[in-house]
Structure 1
Amino acid sequence: MHMFLQYPLGVPSNTIKVAIEPMVAYADSIRIVFGVSCSKNQKKGNEMKKNSLGKNKVQTWRSRIQIGFFVLVAFIATINGLAEIGVTLPAFLGGASLHAICPFGGVVSFWNLATLGTLVKKVHDSSVVLAVLGLLLALLFGPVICGWICPFGTFQEWIGKLGRKLFKKRYNHFVPKKLDRILRYLRYLVLAWVSYMTVVTGKLIFQDYDPYYALFNFWRSEVAISGYVILGVVILLSLFVERPFCKYACPYGAFQGIFNLFRVFKIRRKEATCISCNACSKACPMNIEVSKAGIVHDPQCISCMKCTSEAACPVKETVDFSSAKTRFTVKTKTVGLIAVVVLLGGIGLSMLIGLWNTESSKQPALIKEGDFAGLPSPSDIRGSYTWEDVSKAFAIPSSLLVEAFGAAQSTDKVNLLEAVYLGKVPEGLEIGTDSVRLFVSFYTGLPHIPEEGTILPASAITVLRREGKDTSPLFEEIASKAISLGETVSFTEQPVTPATEIISITGKTTFQELISAGYLLEEIEAIVGKPEDLNMAIKDFVAEQGIEFSEMKAQLAMLTPKKK
């Protein structure tokens, strides 16, 4: 019994102690390890929560930049549109129109600029500036303009948010992969077609089909029906596919995407740390399989940075935006900041050095062939030119031009001639913009075939004879028809009542409305040309002729309505 009390269970205490000590030690180690493990999990959870908040903050930075540029473009378009209906607001960015702030206009003008020395109609010097800035950014980061700046891309993303709520995980996965790969080539066909037609016609051919232009001008009459239709289709498709226009039809996106092949900074995935979770691929709005690529060269990439470790990838520094040799990584915020600084800074610099011009180019096209190839063509003188513009283009003293046509000052526009000489020349004859072309042709010896009925004022004939510029075989024939007005006609001496006091001429005003208000059809035709349909809006008619509506509107305002 004593032995039992001394050794419970019949086992000596020392033996029990020896047996239990390892178990206690093991339990202590489990507790310690478990405690540390819990601490690590808690810390990791906090870090993941912190990283998640950081990722959201990074994309918020991009969203703010997108909203900023969307508002900026909308503001500029609104100011320009209101100005054309008589509502004057302070000019912004030099009174720019939507054409003037579109880089694609500069891209399609590169060929004309290189071969003819002139821009496509309705394209401005500012468009070329933006095209160059976009090119620099593309060489550095790829299509960052598409992913961060383009307001139409932003608009599609906003519509897509509704689609994502409606269709959840199915959103952006409706188009079969094989069909999607084929459709992606369409935008290159669009780019080729637009570029070719622009070169051939010399006009901004894409305007009638541009949903971006329709979006910011939907309330103006100059938007073509085709533009509205395409805009509607894009809005509808955006509910099912993210950025459908960017993926399948945007010519500027196609141009920018080419630079993904050799941009300095690229999306790179480290296979060593990749856990194959496909988070990067799922986050890509352009359906690029980032998880299967070491380096993303896909032309569809818009440099939005949604796939990177800063936004989607759960493993730090596994998917980044870096250079090739130095592996220098650029953070998302830095990309956005550089894009904004380059664009706004570039615009500011171009303003300082005089390159930011939001008006149409005043440099006539060059003659393409023959003995005069490479010289400016008198036939391309436009009514929007001032006498100073003509003087600079053809090296004719502006004082001679003013004297020849009886202008009040050298800053007057050439297209005012029709209104000044209206009613002062015999029926069937005209002194107008084509008269200036003819005068320049006589003075410089450059070729120009005058329109039927074009004549010169007697003062122009006098100037040409005095300067010894009367050697053309056509000169004497034109001289015989010259009209002597007896005195110099001043643009400021026309006793007319502005038509705007009787009828407000807007973008929707038709020829018939002016006629009904008491204006003579022949006077209207002398300014804008002969319309086939009197119910056609004047603005639409002059747009087809490649003429700025504001210029024609100013001339029409000088007419005096007759009693009905």
Structure 2
Amino acid sequence: MKKSKISIIQVSRILIQILFFIWLPSLYINTFHGIKDIYSAVVFQNISLTQLIPQLVEVFAIIPLTIIAGRFFCGWMCAYGAFGDFVYKISHKIFKIDFRLNEDTDRVLKYFKYVVLVFLIFVVCTFKINAFSTFSPWDAFGVIVSVGKVPDFSYAAANLTVGFILFILITIASVFVERFFCRYLCPLGAVFVIISKLRIVKVKKERAKCGKCRICTNNCAMGIPLYKYDVVKSGECINCMQCVTSCPRSNVTLTVSEKDVRPLIAGAAAASVMTGLYYVGKLGVSAAGLNTAQVQTQETQSAKGSYKDGTYEGSGTGFRGGTTKVSVVVKNGKITDITTVSNEDTSEFYDRAFTTVSQEIITNQSSNVDGVSGATFSSRGIMEAVQSALSKAV
């Protein structure tokens, strides 16, 4: 009977991971870059609230629920985390690799993700350092592991060289250490560890009822020494439920305000709520984007500019080398409208970039604007296409 329960919980979790891997693979990167953009907006006050809506959607679809329920996102929904799980489990089953880090070493290494977080947010963002734009292993992951597309190793190696190398190294490390990236390098994980300290959903394990097996600790994906605790308050916990399903005494449970709950229902509910918030927010983004474009159009039409009136088309190269074609409308010498004719980009990245980049171009009357964090190549493709169109209007 216990074996059946283990199968149901873990198989269901894997299925949910696969679904998010296919349909929302960029949710992780969008959330982290959303935090960066919000930080930049607060510090430099150069971005309007309307322009921040796409970033706010991802952030507020995930972080509030993390405060309440803990890191369900990491354990059930993160595409990069799921990739690490698949690499580790396949190598563990096929090659019988059983490597374990010393507990003290593991604890110290976990602090490194805070160094990464501070560097990316408070150094790169504050000083606007662009030299590290190709260093992201999750950008390389997005290029290589895109469902429905052939892995483009050559594009990743040529355009994201350092990020590609880091991605390969992290993948190799994931063969030996479960959730290597999540434990030691993930900056978003560092944010989640901090905010999930307040969560009410926790793992409970009465040590008085434990034997000496330490099976729960040995099965913890994040290397938490569970044998030391009656209630797991560590922000490192990703609610993967492997401790719950592996305990031979059924002594490990998931609790909400000290009351036991069913792990499968809790995980599925958390994933459903986050997804619902995400898509509801996306509808708001679309409406806001249209309204903002209309306001900006009215503002720019009143001033005389330097371009010839007319409608012009141009093309540029976006994410994964795809061609982006746009149509640019010029009235009274000003850019008043930008629409997409066609694009061969990845929709998650392109949609995120287009709203912000097109609005910035209209506001600044220039194709030379800042790209959108997490959609750098899509942004460049849009800017290049607009510049190509405007070259015909001079």
Specify if TM > 0.5.
yes
Seen in structure 2, the aligned counterparts of structure 1 residues 197 and 63 have a Cα distance that, compared at 3 Å, is same
Deviation at 1:345, TM superposition (A): 1.1
Write the mapping of 1:146-545 to structure 2, written as runs, cut at 5 A. Answer: 146-166=74-94, 168=96, 171-173=98-100, 175-202=101-128, 207-218=133-144, 219=152, 220=155, 223-308=159-244, 311-316=245-250, 318-324=251-257, 327-352=258-283, 354-355=284-285, 388-389=295-296, 397-401=299-303, 403-405=304-306, 408=309
Give distance in 2, aligned partners of 1:358 and 1:187.
Answer: 35
Seen in structure 2, the aligned counterparts of structure 1 residues 114 and 559 have a Cα distance that, compared at 3 Å, is closer
Residue type of the alignment partner of 2:107 = R
The answer to whether the 8 Å contact 1:142/1:263 transfers is yes
Give distance in 1, aligned partners of 2:39 and 2:113.
Answer: 20
The answer to whether the 8 Å contact 1:267/1:319 transfers is yes
Larger-gyration structure (1/2): 1
Give distance in 2, aligned partners of 1:108 and 1:227.
Answer: 18
Structure in which a larger fraction of residues adopt strand: 2
Superposed CA deviations along residues 217-241 of structure 1, whole A, max 9, x for unmatched, are 1334684211100000011111111
Residue type of the alignment partner of 1:340 = A
Deviation at 1:116, TM superposition (A): 4.1
Give distance in 2, aligned partners of 1:100 and 1:171.
Answer: 29
Seen in structure 2, the aligned counterparts of structure 1 residues 490 and 224 have a Cα distance that, compared at 3 Å, is closer
Q: Give the secondary-structure state (helix, strand or coil) at the position aligned to 1:208.
A: coil
Instruction: Please list every run of 5 or more consecutive structure 2 residues that lacks an aligned counterpart in the other structure.
Output: 145-151, 315-330, 337-343, 346-365, 369-375
The answer to whether the 8 Å contact 1:104/1:127 transfers is no
The answer to whether the 8 Å contact 1:138/1:256 transfers is yes
Identity %, equivalent residues: 23
The answer to whether the 8 Å contact 1:191/1:251 transfers is yes
The answer to whether the 8 Å contact 1:102/1:130 transfers is yes
Give distance in 1, aligned partners of 2:135 and 2:240.
Answer: 26
Superposed CA deviations along residues 72-124 of structure 1, whole A, max 9, x for unmatched, are 145xxxxxxxxxxxxxxxxxxxxxxx58961111122232333444559xx96
TM-score, with length taken from structure 1: 0.52
The answer to whether the 8 Å contact 2:203/2:253 transfers is yes
Deviation at 1:179, TM superposition (A): 2.2
Residue type of the alignment partner of 1:109 = D
Write the mapping of 1:87-98 to structure 2, written as runs, cut at 5 A. Answer: 98=26
1:54 partnered with 2:16: no
Q: Give the secondary-structure state (helix, strand or coil) at the position aligned to 2:175.
A: coil
Q: Give the secondary-structure state (helix, strand or coil) at the position aligned to 2:86.
A: helix
Residue of structure 1 in register with 2:318 after alignment: none
Deviation at 1:289, TM superposition (A): 1.4
The answer to whether the 8 Å contact 2:110/2:184 transfers is yes
Seen in structure 2, the aligned counterparts of structure 1 residues 553 and 186 have a Cα distance that, compared at 3 Å, is same
Superposed CA deviations along residues 286-334 of structure 1, whole A, max 9, x for unmatched, are 11111221121223211111111xx111223x2112134xx22232212
Residue type of the alignment partner of 1:336 = G
1:550 partnered with 2:385: no
TM-score, with length taken from structure 2: 0.72
The answer to whether the 8 Å contact 1:406/1:490 transfers is yes
Give distance in 2, aligned partners of 1:125 and 1:223.
Answer: 29
Deviation at 1:197, TM superposition (A): 2.5
Superposed CA deviations along residues 21-48 of structure 1, whole A, max 9, x for unmatched, are xxxxxxxxxxxxxxxxxxxxxxxxxxxx
Residue type of the alignment partner of 2:296 = D
Seen in structure 2, the aligned counterparts of structure 1 residues 69 and 206 have a Cα distance that, compared at 3 Å, is farther
Seen in structure 2, the aligned counterparts of structure 1 residues 358 and 232 have a Cα distance that, compared at 3 Å, is farther
Q: Give the secondary-structure state (helix, strand or coil) at the position aligned to 2:231.
A: coil
Residue of structure 1 in register with 2:328 after alignment: none
Seen in structure 2, the aligned counterparts of structure 1 residues 154 and 100 have a Cα distance that, compared at 3 Å, is closer
Residue of structure 2 in register with 1:108 after alignment: 36
The answer to whether the 8 Å contact 1:267/1:320 transfers is yes
Give distance in 1, aligned partners of 2:170 and 2:195.
Answer: 25
The answer to whether the 8 Å contact 2:29/2:138 transfers is no
RMSD: 4.0
Seen in structure 2, the aligned counterparts of structure 1 residues 356 and 259 have a Cα distance that, compared at 3 Å, is farther
Residue type of the alignment partner of 1:213 = D
